[in-house]
Structure 1
Amino acid sequence: MDVEHGERRGQWLALAGFATLSCGDAIIKTMAGEWPPVAVATLRFSIGAVMLTSLLLWKEGPQAFWPRHPWLQAFRGLCLAGASLLFFSAIYVMPLAEAMALTFLAPIFTALLSGPILKEKVRPVVFVACAMALVGVFIVLRPNLAELGLVALFPLGSALFFSCMVIANRASAGHGSALSMQVFMSVVAAPLLLVAAIMGDATGLAPIAPIVPDWSVAARCAIVAVTASTAHYLIYLGTARAGASSVAPMSYVQIIVASILGWAIFGNIPDVLTWTGVAVIVGSGLFLWWRTRKSAA
């Protein structure tokens, strides 16, 4: 009974964490047109890096800042920067729920890439789930690709970066505490995003205007930094108590929260065909999770 209670508690913690992430995404979307996404991402991760670094120094001391494999941690930070920048750019121009749905390809990408990268056996069920997910992607992209062009593919790029980060997380398991793992990513992602912001402004591809944002933009970036760090901590606690396989389906609460916030704040109401595509993508992820857990059992 205690084991079941612990697993249920872990699932609720993870559920709260994933829901909080979607709330942060909605806050990011409110800044569309006020400041470029690359600048928002840079400020958000800079605040997060300072906050997490200070916390790590206080809790674990200076010795916690020496990673075992620096290049692996640098790769994790690169993936985090790429996933965040592409997703922030996507939700600036796309409905929140649709952008979120496309990022749910990440588990499929992770399952496919774990074979060639981690030398894990890729089971046939992965290819079945991948085919199902691609059908859903085409349905969701149907209006956006015609209206927005290649920008509509940003969520797919974000999902690919995120899946690479998940694989790198597996490879770095046991190399430090959960807090230090977050710090290593943040302190790499923030400078990379700053370089991207400077290059974007210099080339005119993403001019930063105004250079100094309104106080409300800075405040919202700070709020997202706090909520995202809190969300990741809740997800970590939930995973530690319930296990990764039990927590995985909880991530799909993000699409529910994103849909509610997209309708309430931005007036975005997905049509029936879009909901069909979302259901197919989510269904493919749940199918993969169910088959994986059944095989493990």
Structure 2
Amino acid sequence: MALVLAATFSFALGDVSTKYLAGRYPVEVILAVRYALNTALLLAFVYPKLGARLWATNRVWLVIGRGGCLALASLTLALALRLMPVGETIAIIYLSPFVVMLLSAPFLGEPVRRGNWIWAALGFAGVLIIVRPGGGLDAFGVTLALINAGLATAYHLLTRLLSRTETTISLLFHTAWVGTVVFGLWAAPSLSGLAIAAFDLVVMLGLGVAYSLGHYLFTAAYRAAPPSLLAPVNYAHLVWAGGLGFLFFGDVPGVFSLAGMGLICVSGVAIALSARRK
């Protein structure tokens, strides 16, 4: 549980760094550095131990498609964070676990317990409260966050499907190189004449380390304890995101936004605890 708390803190730190950088540099450059560093870290620290097992896979095109989903999700997240506060953006994205649960029945043959439908409805209601008309959030930013939730849903469904035949480290490596290629090619024209301040370069590198460390800590956590125990702790991400957003940008969620975030948190934790009891 401590590892998951540390992982969600790393992700929230990466979210805050992304928001800061997205207001100063092209998003494709930021993401190219993030994914390239992720790939480099895997090659430097994991390849010497595993060799070719690092990228060994049984279902190549599905694995690459999953990497593409995460790359597009990273893009929409960065663009959404440029337009909206960190806390509200992350809260909208946490619509994804509810959709994953509801789609697990038709796509993966995993039945949904009756009570979880009620909790899922409350989670959806929480998102609607946050994105309500007149709430002050940028409409295009909300759209990007909702697209991100859809991409994250596809990514997690593919992860659950592929986890039956692929290793965790192989899935991690393939998402890293796919993002590196996509954003590296896209960012190449933008690099001409681009000047990056020394501090901002450190933040870019720190962004890559933060997300890489978050994935590593999650892997270590799920190796040490069952998912049913750890799933409720994932919602600490909302707390970290809101707190860091206030600390670095002075963003204070309104009463309705806090209520919506609370509903999402409570509903998600309730569903996770229900799975644990089962």
| TM-score of the aligned structures, taking structure 1 as reference length | 0.85
The reply on whether 1:104 has 2:94 as its aligned counterpart is yes
Q: Deviations over 1:20-48 (max 9, x none)?
A: 21112111111132112233122211221
How big is the shift at 1:136? Answer: 1.0
> Residue 119 of structure 2 corresponds to which residue in structure 1?
129
Are 2:131 and 2:137, in contact at CA under 8 Å, matched by a contact in 1? no
Q: Number of aligned pairs?
A: 278
Q: CA RMSD in A?
A: 2.3
| Residue number among 237, 242, 258 corresponding to 1:254 in the alignment | 237
How big is the shift at 1:71? Answer: 0.9
Distance 1:50 1:143, change over 3 A: farther
How big is the shift at 1:147? Answer: 5.0
The percentage of aligned residue pairs carrying the same residue is: 26
In the TM superposition, 1:21-100 aligns within 5 A as: 21-100=11-90
How big is the shift at 1:111? Answer: 0.7
The reply on whether 1:234 has 2:217 as its aligned counterpart is yes
The reply on whether 1:178 has 2:161 as its aligned counterpart is no
Q: Deviations over 1:34-68 (max 9, x none)?
A: 11223312221122122213333211113432311
**In structure 2, distance between residues paired with 1:195 and 1:143:** 38
Structure 1 stretch displaced more, 259-268 or 36-45? 36-45
Are 1:145 and 1:153, in contact at CA under 8 Å, matched by a contact in 2? no
Q: Specify the code of the residue in structure 2 equivalent to 1:142.
A: R
Q: Deviations over 1:217-244 (max 9, x none)?
A: 3322211111211121111111221210
Distance 1:63 1:17, change over 3 A: closer
| TM-score of the aligned structures, taking structure 2 as reference length | 0.90
Runs (5+) with no aligned partner, structure 1? 1-10, 202-206
Are 2:10 and 2:214, in contact at CA under 8 Å, matched by a contact in 1? yes
**In structure 1, distance between residues paired with 2:146 and 2:134:** 13
Structure 1 stretch displaced more, 179-188 or 140-149? 140-149
In the TM superposition, 1:273-288 aligns within 5 A as: 273-288=256-271
Runs (5+) with no aligned partner, structure 2? none
In the TM superposition, 1:78-227 aligns within 5 A as: 78-142=68-132, 147-173=137-163, 175-195=165-185, 197=187, 211-227=194-210
How big is the shift at 1:110? Answer: 0.9
Q: Specify the code of the residue in structure 1 equivalent to 2:94.
A: F
Q: Specify the code of the residue in structure 1 equivalent to 2:225.
A: A
> Residue 5 of structure 1 corresponds to which residue in structure 2?
none
Are 1:56 and 1:180, in contact at CA under 8 Å, matched by a contact in 2? no
> Residue 292 of structure 1 corresponds to which residue in structure 2?
275
How big is the shift at 1:183? Answer: 0.6
Q: Deviations over 1:160-214 (max 9, x none)?
A: 222222221222225454332211111112222345557xx7xxxxx78964533
Q: Specify the code of the residue in structure 2 equivalent to 1:235.
A: F
